[in-house]
Amino acid sequence: MASTFNTSATNGDDDKGVSALERDTLLMHASGRPGKIEIVPTKPLATQRDLSLAYSPGVAFPCLHIARDPSLAYDYTAKGNLVAVISNGTAVLGLGDLGALAGKPVMEGKSVLFKRFADVDSIDLEVDTRDVEEFIGAVRYLGPTFGGINLEDIKAPECFIIEQRLRELMDIPVFHDDQHGTAIISAAGLINALELTGRDMAKTKVVVNGAGAAGIACIELAKAMGIRHENVILCDTKGVIFQGRTEGMNQWKSAHAVATKARSLAEALEGADVFMGLSVKGAVTAEMIATMAAKPIIFAMANPDPEITPEEVKAVRADAIVATGRSDYPNQINNVLGFPYIFRGALDVRASTINEAMKIAAAKAIAALAREDVPDEVDAAYSGRRLRYGPDYIIPVPFDPRLISSIPPAVAKAAMDSGVARKPIIDMAAYKRELSARLDPASASMEAITEAVKANPKRIVFAEGEEEKQIRAAVAFSNAGLGHPILIGREERIRATMKNIGLPVAESLEIINSRLSPRTGHYTDMLYERMQRKGALYRDAQRLVNQERNIFAALMVESGDADAMVTGLTRNYWQAFEEIQKVIDPTPGELMFGMTVFIAKGRVVFVADTTVMETPTPEQLADIAVQTAHKARQMGHEPRVAMISYSTFGNPSNDRAERVREAVEILDHRKVDFIYDGEMGADVALDPELLGHYPFCRLKEPANVLVMPGLYSATIGSKLLQKLGGASVIGPILVGMSKPVQITSMDASAADIVNMAVLACHDALK
């Protein structure tokens, strides 16, 4: 269903002050189902019996059991995996006091991060009051519903009172991420920075600028880990917080007042080892940094702009270690490294609170992970940077898949050791394996591919450049820093469309009219040379180059004038594929076919061939298996291949299954380097219980690559799953072409087109 939302703020002449990022963000939030979260049932509700078990009359039984033993709520309800993100909107994401309702997009976003990174279900709750007692009263009675409370974007000093009181009143973890999340990640970075510079924590002199929630939490955690009270100077907008100061003080600032002659931030920084900034852009100058001790550690964490940039620091102190809150610099202090995994560990042991021991354990686990060898897939995702422990890598990157198996176990163990765990974990090794299985492999794979493309930007042709979706996709591709987009079409049409939909003229966009291009003659010669012995005249080649944008785009890629192309909105898949084949050949020794990636319930399944070959021969089925397995590996998945048939290991017996059996025999002779078996039904391939009925089967886990016996079954099954199965879909991805080309479906969204453009550019990296 089309989205209906007010676009008046992002269209026309009134739109001059609106950035492309703002437009894209508003469109993303408003398109489809508004917002970023929805509720999905976890049990079948298809029949009357299902309803009678889930609701009346059967639901009475778990109710009665919980009434007798409240701990059973964790067994019979979602409580044990449910966190509330609660705010009153008084300190929204550096924007200030916007109020509860305006803060809702941030809280929904936080809920999404909980799910994405740690598989924690989360619901945002916006409490419309600035009164501390009213807020506490509204939250304290929610304990039966949730396994934990994540307080968010509440201004200081009220946040201190609220968190402390709720921790006393509730028997579930209460955690204010603005305070403790930043403190934990910065503490992890500090552990490694001190180690790299050869410092003793007990002798380290620290200056903190910013006496709000995060600044005070950072000081308290640093002191708990060994930084001495007298070696920490806290500053606010009025200067140093010293013993005897009365102006602008409160009990939380007073707790960190020290005896010092320094009265300004500049004076405090003289000879200091560490600066931690949680204040505002420009609060620190290069001159101040120059007065610090040798090998200074500077954590400039103000958002969106740091107190001082790494470039400004390096200009005066080449020996400095620098961290910021920004993703475009090394050493990002990013709370997403902490809160999802801290709650994951706390929930899994049913902790009654998140205490100091758990925070320290999280910080140490994060620091330790940065010292480990970085897996190839993580290194590849951040190509262009060397992810090796050292001054530019003291904190793991947010998309490191090892975070989920490193931090929650450390937090859970600390909870058990400190006596706040109500359900201790017996087998920690099994727990770590279970955690790794929770991670959404598709998100990690696409992020790795996207980061690799961003680090090695390519020139990509959007063949249907006059189409609104392709224009939006090209602009989004450019704005994301993914490469250089080229739109094929008439410039006046494209510019008019951009104006009508409120997109600014982007200098990074290149527009080429095939009729007017100085390369048209060269492309015509190229095409005629390929077609002259296939019944084509020169004027036929000339007409195709002038009028068929897919052919023009393909010629750009074939000649090296562009690195990749994407198309598909105005032609069905097979027609677009036929046009491109006039220009680009298969990779020597490989087949061309379509592979579709399905993501559902945390599983990723590669299905092929979904677009090209009607009835593959046994040899072709074997080739498809080999190439799809290779592609799966490129996307970060170890292939387990099932050769699919309606027959499972000869039952029912039929000659039509023979092609699939022969394909398996061919793979046997080739001695391939991946696990495979067949012929088997799709249900057996995907269901571990059914797979268990065949102990001789080489697949000991469900398959993640399905090689289909023919195009009919592949296409019908894929489209049914896409429309009815609730799966996310990537593709079909064109495999086996000698140049990077991807074809979208005709109903693709701008976001789908961007994904396919990223995949095409990723192919160009090889």
Pairing between β-strand 593-600 and β-strand 728-735 as defined by DSSP bridges: antiparallel
Does 64 belong to an annotated binding site? no
DSSP state of 486: E
Rg (CA), the chain: 29
Does pLDDT of 16 surpass 60? no
The token pair that represents 335 in the structure block? 């709370």
**Residue 109: count of CB within 10 angstroms of its CB:** 17
Give ∠ CA 545-547-551 in degrees, rounded to 5. 45
Across the chain, mean pLDDT equals 88
Do 559 and 607 fall within a single domain?
Answer: no
Residue 492 has pLDDT above 60, yes or no: yes
Nearest Cα to Cα of residue 640 among 704, 708, 709? 704
| Rounded average pLDDT over 151-161 | 93
**pLDDT tens digit sequence for 350-370:** 999 999 999 999 999 999 999
Which pLDDT score, from 0 to 100, does residue 7 have? 36
Query: What average pLDDT does the segment 554-573 reach?
Result: 91
Q: Residue 505: is its pLDDT beyond 70?
A: no
559/707 same-domain check: no
pLDDT exceeds cutoff 70 at 382: no
Query: 108-112, 210-214, 502-506: which has the minimum mean pLDDT?
Result: 502-506
Tokens representing 278 are 């949680």
Task: Say if residue 545 carries a ligand binding annotation.
Answer: no
Q: pLDDT value at position 428?
A: 92
At 257-267, the pLDDT tens digits run 999 999 999 99
Q: Binning pLDDT at 50, 70 and 90, where does residue 600 land?
A: confident
Average of per-residue pLDDT across 576-595: 90
Rounded to 5 degrees, φ, ψ at 241 are -90, 100
What average pLDDT score do residues 93-110 get? 91
CA distances in angstroms from 705 to 445, 591, 605, 626, 643, listed in the order given:
15, 17, 6, 10, 9
Q: Is 152 annotated as a binding residue?
A: yes
Rounded Cα distance between 421 and 435, Å, is 18
> How many other C-beta atoms are found inside a 10 Å radius of the C-beta of residue 12?
13
Whether residue 157 has a cis bond before it, omega within 30° of 0: yes
Q: How would residue 439 be classed by pLDDT, with cut points 50, 70 and 90?
A: low
Question: Which bin fits 384, alpha (ψ -120 to 50), beta or left (φ > 0)?
Answer: left
Residue 109 has a pLDDT of 93
Residue 596 has pLDDT above 70, yes or no: yes
pLDDT score of 221: 96
Which pair of tokens denotes residue 545? 């180059």
558 labelled binding-site residue = no
Share of the chain above pLDDT 70, in %: 93
Q: Is residue 494 part of a domain?
A: yes
Judge whether 711 is annotated as a binding position: no
pLDDT at residue 651, as a whole number: 80
Question: Is 287 annotated in some ligand binding site?
Answer: no
Residue 130 in this model has a pLDDT that exceeds 50? yes
Q: Is 99 annotated as a binding residue?
A: yes
pLDDT of residue 310: 95
Instruction: Please determine, for residue 12, whether its predicted confidence score (pLDDT) is greater than 60.
Output: no
DSSP state of 373: P
In a domain, 210, yes or no: yes
403 is in an annotated binding site: no
Q: Is 590 annotated as a binding residue?
A: no
Residue-level pLDDT at 165: 96
Q: What is the CATH number of the domain that holds 642?
A: 3.40.50.10750
Task: Say which CATH number the domain at 481 has.
Answer: 3.40.50.10950
| Structural domain that includes position 146 | 78-172
Q: Are 357 and 479 found together in one domain?
A: no
Residue 727: the pLDDT is 66
The answer to whether residue 112 sits within a structural domain is yes
Residues 662-685, mean pLDDT to the nearest whole number: 90
Q: 496 and 404: one domain? A: no
Task: State the Cα–Cα distance between residues 297 and 289, nearest whole angstrom.
Answer: 10
Cα–Cα distance for residue pair 223/201, rounded to 1 Å: 9
Kindly report the CATH number assigned to the domain that includes residue 232.
3.40.50.720
| Mean pLDDT (whole number) for 438-459 | 75
3-state secondary structure of 692: coil
**ω before 408 within 30° of 0 (cis)?**
no
What is the predicted pLDDT for the residue at 1? 29
Rounded to the nearest 10 degrees, how much is the dihedral formed by the CA atoms of 4, 485, 109, 159? Answer: -120
pLDDT interval class at 13 (50, 70, 90): very low
The DSSP bridge partners found for residue 249 are: none
Of the CA atoms within 13 Å of residue 203, those in its CB half-sphere come to 6
Last residue of a domain, one of 118, 143, 172: 172
Do 600 and 547 share a structural domain? Answer: no
Q: What are the tens digits of pLDDT across the range 103-115?
A: 999 999 999 999 9
Active site positions, annotated: 110
Residue 483 marked in a binding site:
no
Q: Are residues 152 and 213 in the same domain?
A: no
Q: Is 95 annotated as a binding residue?
A: yes
249 and 360 in a single domain? The answer is yes
The answer to the question of residue 64 being in a domain is no
**Block residue for tokens 């001159």:** 287
pLDDT at residue 4 is higher than 60: no
| Other beta carbons within 10 Å of 118 | 26
Q: Which range is least confidently modeled, 208-222, 500-514, 561-575?
A: 500-514
pLDDT, residue 679, reads 87
Residue pLDDT, tens place only, 688-744 = 889 889 999 999 889 999 999 888 888 888 777 766 666 677 878 889 889 999 999
HEC states along 279-325?
CCCCCCCHHHHHCCCCCCEEEECCCCCCCCCHHHHHHHCCCCEEEEC
How many domains does one find in the chain?
Answer: 4
Residues 507 and 607 in one domain: no
Which helix (DSSP H) or strand (DSSP E) does residue 95 occupy?
A: none
Tell me whether residue 22 is in a domain: no
Residues 412 and 467 in one domain: no
- Residue 238 above 50 pLDDT? yes
Question: Average pLDDT for residues 328-338, to the nearest whole number?
Answer: 90
Query: Tell me, what's the pLDDT at 500?
Result: 79
C-alpha distances (whole Å) from 502 to each of 475, 481, 484 are 12, 20, 21
User: Would you place residue 642 in the very low, low, confident or very high pLDDT band (cuts 50, 70, 90)?
Assistant: very high
Which range scores top for mean pLDDT: 113-117, 339-343, 379-383? 339-343
What pLDDT shows up at residue 710?
Answer: 86
Question: Does 94 carry a binding-site annotation?
Answer: yes
**Considering only CA atoms, which of 333, 329, 291 is closest in space to residue 310?**
329
**Quick one: tokens of 306?**
């740091």
Q: What does the chain come to in residues?
A: 766
Region 72-81 average pLDDT: 94
Last-in-domain residue among 519, 551, 582:
582
Q: Give residue-wise pLDDT tens across range 753-765.
A: 888 999 999 888 8
Entry pTM: 0.70
Q: Is the model more confident about 384 or about 570?
A: 570
Residue 764 lies in a domain: no
**Residue 35 falls within a domain, yes or no?**
no
Residue 601 and residue 724 in one domain: yes
SS3 538: helix
130: domain CATH number is: 3.40.50.10380
Residue 682 has pLDDT above 50, yes or no: yes
Q: At what angle do helices 403-417 and 428-438 cross, to 10 degrees?
A: 140
- State whether 505 and 550 are in the same domain: yes
Question: Is 190 a member of any domain?
Answer: yes
- pLDDT bracket for residue 331 (50, 70, 90): very high
Pair (282, 193) in one structural domain: yes
Query: Does residue 479 or residue 82 have the better pLDDT?
Result: 82
Residue ending a domain, choose from 172, 204, 237 = 172
pLDDT of 440: 57
Burial label for 201, CB within 10 Å (0-12, 13-18, 19+), is middle
Q: Is residue 701 packed enough to be buried (19+ CB in 10 Å), middle (13-18) or exposed (0-12)?
A: exposed
Average pLDDT over residues 158-171: 95
- Distance, CA of 679 to CA of 396 (rounded, Å): 43
